[in-house]
Amino acid sequence: MTLNLDALDRYQQFLGKRYPSVALSFERTAEKKSPVIVELGSSRSYVSGGNEGCMDDDPKYWNPDRPERWDWGAGIFSRVCAEIIAGTDASLHSVDPSPKAMRIARTITSGIDAKVSFHQTTSTDFLRSISEPIDLLYMDHHETCEEGAVLHRRDSELIVEEEILAPDGVILIDDVHTHGPVREQTTRLVRKATGKGELHHGKGKYSIPYLREQGFRILFEGYQVVMGR
């Protein structure tokens, strides 16, 4: 059964800058049989920053009927993905070492007929333990900082060395060009002029150049980056 891509249309206005990359990732996964989706870094808030209840795991702040109040600032991938795979053979593994994030992810996906499992562990430990190829890997773990970029690189090495991604699988990396379209356009121009592929930022600063060296292509580049072979 194909994925419920109409959920993307329902939330397009809220996904904003993430919409093109999220849509492409799911479109490339939609026709697969029993696709495996992994989210490294679960949803960590019910509401966006600046609102009462931000980063609070008290379920009183979750209103499933008011999507305009959800934490779109961080993308709330757990909920969107659960709706997209509802009633299908697709499965979502939501991974985060934080017990608070696990509680939030469980709450926002409850009541949806979807195969969602929760793993309170680190991204690296999960990747070492998974026994089935990943069709869509969403890398949103850690923070947008040097330590986070280094972790993404290490996990990318593990993904390649252990052949964790399906041959035609895709990787969706969040929080790459976090400085807006002007910085993104400048980066593209400089990369084209110099022929260098290492000019990325945010969480993909080191992982994207590494993945390109390993034969991955950039399928879409914006706030997020989509990669595949």
Residue boundaries of the structural domains of the chain: 6-228
Q: Give pLDDT, residue 109.
A: 98
**Mean pLDDT score of the chain:** 90
Q: Give pLDDT, residue 198.
A: 47
Q: Is pLDDT at 144 greater than 70 in this prediction?
A: no
d(Cα 188, Cα 87) in Å, to the nearest integer?
40
Q: What backbone torsions phi and psi does residue 168 show, to the nearest 5 degrees?
A: -110, 25
pLDDT digits (tens, 9 = 90+) for 72-108: 988 899 999 999 999 999 999 999 999 999 999 999 9
The listed CATH number (3.40.50.150, 1.10.10.10, 3.40.50.2000, 1.10.3720.10) that belongs to domain 6-228:
3.40.50.150
pTM of the entire predicted model: 0.89
pLDDT digits (tens, 9 = 90+) for 149-205: 899 899 999 999 999 999 999 999 998 986 655 455 555 555 555 555 544 578 888
Secondary structure (3-state) at 84: helix
d(Cα 53, Cα 107) in Å, to the nearest integer?
14
d(Cα 13, Cα 64) in Å, to the nearest integer?
17
Angle between helices 19-29 and 77-85 (to 10 degrees): 30
For the purposes of burial, counting CB atoms within 10 Å of the CB of 58, is it exposed (0-12), middle (13-18) or buried (19 or more)? exposed
Which sign, positive or negative, has the C-alpha torsion 16, 182, 169, 41?
negative
49: pLDDT confidence band, cut at 50, 70 and 90?
confident
d(Cα 125, Cα 42) in Å, to the nearest integer?
15
**Range in 19-23, 54-58, 201-205 with the lowest mean pLDDT:** 201-205
pLDDT digits (tens, 9 = 90+) for 104-143: 999 999 999 999 999 999 999 999 999 999 999 999 887 6
Q: Is pLDDT at 224 greater than 70 in this prediction?
A: yes
Q: What is the average per-residue pLDDT within 60-77? A: 94
